[in-house]
Structure 1
């Protein structure tokens, strides 16, 4: 295994691969004791969630990171956030469903996908890239995004789920 990360555009036929990555991420998170971020049930066992992932992929540009030809990570870039976050007052690209398959953690898959998202945003002539994430678990995911060049903007909550919006100028 040479661990070279290749990023390709995804499409509707990649939904099973994306769901597999998301399911693996849930298992990985749960193994670290993080159950509040995406819950404990695999994405594939939640029909409304499966439908939502497919809808988001259809609204935006899904990207698949592969390591040795195996789907290792994913994100979808959309022109707007989910309905729980206010849209920006300017054109933006929004990172949705960023996840790395648990087997590929530590190889820089997420960082490669985020760098690709920044480049795609720049290529589209848009200067604002935003993302939101789970702000619980001592803010570890927020800190990860900050290490990738994002800056905190607005905190939010959905029910009892704490979130944080971050942005990057590209």
Structure 2
């Protein structure tokens, strides 16, 4: 994927085609607002990815997003419609695998297929840029609906778990004491020659 890709569409009543690009430091405020809107607070309840029933407080902040952008072997893909952020995800090379996280779609447009397109583009990017042979992620175990969505797209539970960072409000304020992350993995087919 190039730094910016777009396709032109004939004028119709459908939503404009999204523009996929890599995010830079100037995008940090928009990325934070997008992620927060998809997961926390009242605005997140408009979509199905909300974690507001599990966590209060922030999902991320400007320092955390800037840190992701500054890491080697790390990229944030930003998707825009009409120049406004619509979706994003973070990819990080971890050996032969790519870690997939910070996946967010604006609550107002969830359920329209953009999430599937972002996931497919992320897989394509990881294969092309890093030769990744697998995509890994962690999802809060209690998000059965979200895990099922990933399983329908080829991810499988590994049986491995990571603890939730209780006491670190940078990741939110838990509303229950049993949160943990389930690890999911999807093998990536080799990139076509």
Question: Fold-level match, TM-score > 0.5?
Answer: yes
Counterparts in 2 of 1:122 and 1:34: CA distance versus 1, 3 Å: closer
- Residue 118 of structure 2 is aligned with which of 113, 120, 144? 113
CA shift digits 1:77-127 (9 cap, x unpaired) = 1124xxxxxxxxx42211121111112211222211110111011112121
Alpha-carbon distance in structure 1 between the residues aligned to 2:120 and 2:86: 16
Secondary structure at the counterpart of residue 106 of structure 1? coil
> 1:134 Cα shift?
1.3
Question: Structure 1: any 5+ residue segments left out of the alignment?
Answer: 81-89
Cross-structure match for 1:77: 91
CA RMSD, aligned part only?
2.2
Question: Structure 2: any 5+ residue segments left out of the alignment?
Answer: 1-12, 167-177, 189-193
- Residue 155 of structure 1 is aligned with which of 156, 161, 174? 161
Contact in 1 for aligned 2:36/2:44 (Cα 8 Å): no
TM-score, normalised via structure 1 length = 0.79
Alpha-carbon distance in structure 2 between the residues aligned to 1:155 and 1:34: 18
TM-score, normalised via structure 2 length = 0.71
Counterparts in 2 of 1:14 and 1:94: CA distance versus 1, 3 Å: same
Cross-structure match for 1:168: 186
Q: Which has the higher helix share?
A: 1
Contact in 1 for aligned 2:99/2:136 (Cα 8 Å): yes
Counterparts in 2 of 1:42 and 1:64: CA distance versus 1, 3 Å: same
Alpha-carbon distance in structure 1 between the residues aligned to 2:183 and 2:131: 22
Cross-structure match for 2:131: 125
Contact in 1 for aligned 2:157/2:185 (Cα 8 Å): yes
Larger Rg computed on CA atoms: 2
Within 5 Å, give how 1:37-48 maps onto structure 2.
37=54, 39-43=55-59
